[in-house]
Structure 1
Amino acid sequence: MKPKTDVNEMIVKDFAMVIEDFTRIFIRLPTIEKLSFTTLSVLHTLSHKSPMRLNDLIATEQVTQSAITQLVTRLERDGLVERKPDPSDGRAVLVHITALGAGIIDSRRSDRMKRIASFFEGLAPEEREAIASALPALTHLAQLGRSL
């Protein structure tokens, strides 16, 4: 007798594997604004959650205090972020993304969208429709994971 396989377990495993493959491709797609993965991750995080305290960036980016301080100093020097005092705590600093930093994220997203559009040309109409139908559920799944 064959052991029963949990359908949800199969879906999660297959989904995770596809997402891992797609993520690997996705992060390498843009041909513009080539910056380190950590730099881009911080800018992307700030594009959604700006301003943030350094300690919160340490937690989301999973880097050391020293590494995030050096990175934010470099980003500030390059005009991509700015530090401002936290109005609720004079001892703390908030990191804000600048228009230039947000522009990098936007230009990379635009470049990525153009490149992904070429992938869609290789799909059958019913495959494109399946992806379109899945977008609300995938959006909800991403929202559930944003708290991380």
Structure 2
Amino acid sequence: MQADPPSHQVDELELAAGLARIRTMMRMFDVPRDLSITALSTLANLERLGPRRLTELAVIEGVTQPAMTQLVSKLEHQALAERRPDPEDGRVVLVSITQHGRDELARRRAAQAKRLAELVAELPEADRAAIAAALPALDRLTSRALGGGA
């Protein structure tokens, strides 16, 4: 008979699958779907990281530079992002999020949070407590993955 693993061990495959399901759930909450996942991720990264070069954004998002150039053009057309010369090197162009882009992300997050709160309220208290207890660890995990240390 095999002993149960200690409670602090994590099944990496189970964790990856669970987080993928959460990503899918959160994407389902994003209505309207007028912006792609990559567009929303790019805006969120610009908000979190500050202005970035197109080449850096392409690497972060895992797309080609031409694809990122096209995406940034669409975001500019919607006034969600803008290109400006780098103040330290005028030959370099940086992409930054606009206030309208910040407002749009905030609006979408608020709608997602409202729907998520409705679902969480339907869970038993023990599940709500487990989710709340996991949040700091998940924050540290994502911070590490996104280069924030921890």
TM-score with structure 2 setting the length: 0.87
Q: Which residues of structure 2 form unaligned runs of 5+?
A: none
Task: Note the C-alpha offset of 1:114.
Answer: 0.5
Identical aligned pairs, as a percentage?
37
Structure 2 equivalent of residue 24 of structure 1:
24
> Does residue 1:71 correspond to 2:52, yes or no?
no
Task: Note the C-alpha offset of 1:85.
Answer: 0.6
What is the rounded CA distance, in whole Å, between the counterparts of 2:132 and 2:5 in structure 1? 28
Give CA deviations for 1:123-144 in whole Å, capped at 9, x if unaligned.
1111111111111111111111
What is the rounded CA distance, in whole Å, between the counterparts of 1:57 and 1:8 in structure 2? 35
Instruction: Within 5 Å, give how 1:1-148 maps onto structure 2.
Output: 10-32=10-32, 34-147=34-147
Cα pair 1:32 1:108 within 8 Å, conserved: no
After alignment, is 4-13 or 79-88 more displaced? Answer: 4-13
SS in 2 for 1:143: helix
Task: Note the C-alpha offset of 1:15.
Answer: 1.3
Cα pair 1:46 1:97 within 8 Å, conserved: yes
Kindly tell me: are residues 117 and 7 of structure 1, through their superposed partners in 2, closer, same or farther at Cα, counting changes over 3 Å? closer
What is the rounded CA distance, in whole Å, between the counterparts of 1:44 and 1:28 in structure 2? 17
SS in 1 for 2:22: helix
Kindly tell me: are residues 138 and 81 of structure 1, through their superposed partners in 2, closer, same or farther at Cα, counting changes over 3 Å? same
Give CA deviations for 1:84-122 in whole Å, capped at 9, x if unaligned.
111222221111100111111111100000110111122
Task: Note the C-alpha offset of 1:2.
Answer: 5.6
RMSD after superposition = 2.2
Q: Which residues of structure 1 form unaligned runs of 5+?
A: none
SS in 1 for 2:16: helix
Task: Note the C-alpha offset of 1:33.
Answer: 6.1
What is the rounded CA distance, in whole Å, between the counterparts of 2:3 and 2:78 in structure 1? 58
The one-letter amino acid paired with 1:88 is: E
Task: Note the C-alpha offset of 1:31.
Answer: 2.0
The one-letter amino acid paired with 2:115 is: R
Task: Note the C-alpha offset of 1:77.
Answer: 2.0
Kindly tell me: are residues 123 and 96 of structure 1, through their superposed partners in 2, closer, same or farther at Cα, counting changes over 3 Å? same
Kindly tell me: are residues 5 and 126 of structure 1, through their superposed partners in 2, closer, same or farther at Cα, counting changes over 3 Å? closer
Task: Note the C-alpha offset of 1:8.
Answer: 6.9
